[in-house]
Amino acid sequence: MRHMLPQSHQFYVTAPQPCPYLDGKVERKLFTALQGDSANNLNDVLSHQGFRRSQNVLYRPSCGTCTACLSARIVASDFKFSRGQRRILKRNAEVERLARSPWATETQYDLFRRYLDARHATGGMADMDMHEFAAMVEETPVRSRVIEYYRPGENGGRRELIAVCLTDILSDGVSMVYSFFDPDLTRQSLGAYVILDHIRIAQESNLPYVYLGYWVPGSSKMDYKARYDPMEIFADGRWRPVTDADRAPSAHERSEATAIRAQLAAIELPGTK
- For the segment 72-124, what is each residue's pLDDT rounded down to a tens digit? 999 999 999 999 999 999 999 999 999 999 999 999 999 999 999 998 877 77
- Note the residue count of the chain: 273
Q: Which range (16-25, 182-191, 244-253) has the least confidence?
A: 244-253
CA 164, CA 136: separation in Å to the nearest integer? 13
Average pLDDT of span 259-266: 57
pLDDT at 255: 44
- For the segment 164-222, what is each residue's pLDDT rounded down to a tens digit? 999 999 999 999 999 999 999 999 999 999 999 999 999 999 999 999 998 888 777 77
pLDDT at 1: 37
pLDDT at 139: 92
pLDDT at 267: 65
How would residue 236 be classed by pLDDT, with cut points 50, 70 and 90? Answer: confident
pLDDT at 248: 65
30 Cα distance to chain centroid: 16
Q: Which range (12-21, 98-107, 227-236) has the least confidence?
A: 12-21
Q: Give me the residue spans of the domains in the chain.
A: 2-70+214-223+233-266, 76-211
Average pLDDT of span 149-156: 84
Residue 202 or residue 17, greater confidence: 202
**Which residues contact residue 139 at a Cβ distance below 8 angstroms, ignoring those fewer than 6 apart?**
55, 56
- For the segment 123-132, what is each residue's pLDDT rounded down to a tens digit? 777 789 999 9
pLDDT exceeds cutoff 70 at 264: no
- For the segment 25-74, what is each residue's pLDDT rounded down to a tens digit? 888 889 998 988 889 999 999 999 999 999 999 989 887 777 778 899 99
Which CATH fold would you assign to the domain 76-211?
Answer: Aminopeptidase (3.40.630)
CA 47, CA 175: separation in Å to the nearest integer? 9
CA 60, CA 235: separation in Å to the nearest integer? 12
3-class secondary structure, 253: coil
